[in-house]
Amino acid sequence: MLTVAAVGDLHVGADSAGRLAPHLRGLSGQVDALLLAGDLTQCGTVEEAEVLVRELADVSVPVVAVLGNHDLHSRQGAKIRDVLAVGGITLLDRGATVVPVNGHVLGVAGVTGFGGGFAGACASDFGEPEMRAFVARTHAEAEALEDSLRGLATDVRIALLHYAPVADTLQGERPEIFPFLGSYVLGAAVDRAGADLVVHGHAHGGTERGLTPGGVRVHNVALPVLRRPYRVFHFEVDGAAV
């Protein structure tokens, strides 16, 4: 049995100091890893990342994270990565990591992802260079996710994203903003490569559970959706989530 906790959109700022840690104290004896689905910080500053690291200091299980749009706002992504690394947090940016757990291996492939929309309301690789660049970023994220998942020969494979790969988990958000919340291209990548679970954040007004068209479970673990400190997932060794 592998057990993983996940949450996204912590939006840590200076005012988070001392407020997050108490809610994570139970993790160490309960789960094998903690996944953070982006928007770790509110403004994307090094100082906020340092607050996060201090809040996670007592979490003794491996912590794996991706960045979200808030983390990228101040263009300090590289420095944030360094701060997280010093704090023992693995930051995935179009890559993967493996976590050995009691004789089994958990694999996590992580990308931030990007927008573009879903069937019936999609951005396309057409027209102005800026629009094509927007779409190209989504495709690059999706290709990296697919490659990373394919490279994981592990007992359980999880795709960790910030943006949504399906529209299911956006239900509750205004449909007009779906193209800014995720893209079907990310879901297609998951379906081609295969995964046991996808977790994402970003959609604060969305819905917790969904499925890719290929049948992979998707969970929106944004804090405002969960309304609790984290969601726990249990996996049998054959990869079936319960």
Where along the sequence are the contacts to another protein (CB under 8 A)? 10-11, 13, 15-16, 19-20, 22-23, 42-43, 69-70, 73, 174, 204-205, 223-224, 227-229
Token readout for 24 is 């994570």
Closest CA to 193 of 154, 236, 232: 154
8 Å CB contact between 46 and 75: no
What is the identity of the amino acid at 151?
Answer: G
* Residue 79 contacts residue 71 (beta carbons within 8 Å): no
Least distance in angstroms from the C-beta of 204 to another protein: 4
Q: How far is the CB of 66 from another protein (least distance, A)?
A: 18
Q: How far is the CB of 150 from another protein (least distance, A)?
A: 33
Please say which residue, 3 or 74, places its beta carbon nearer to another protein.
74
Cα 190 from Cα 186, distance rounded (Å): 6
- CB of residue 12 to another protein, shortest distance in Å: 8
Of 182, 185, 189, 186, the closest CA to residue 167 belongs to: 182
Give the residue with the Cβ less far from another protein, 24 or 99: 24
* Residue with token string 């999706």: 142
**241, β-bridge pairs:** 235
CA distance to 33, 141, 209, per residue, from 44 (Å) = 24, 20, 28
Dihedral sign computed on CA atoms, order 21, 27, 29, 33 = negative
Pairwise CA distance, residues 225 & 204, whole Å: 6
Residue 132 CB, nearest distance to another protein (Å)?
Answer: 24
> Please, are residues 6 and 219 in contact by the beta-carbon 8 Å criterion?
yes
Q: How far is the CB of 58 from another protein (least distance, A)?
A: 14
Compare residues 31 and 190 and give the one whose CB is closer to another protein: 31
DSSP 183: B
- Smallest distance from another protein to CB 181, Å: 10
Kindly state the DSSP code that residue 242 receives in the 8-state scheme.
-
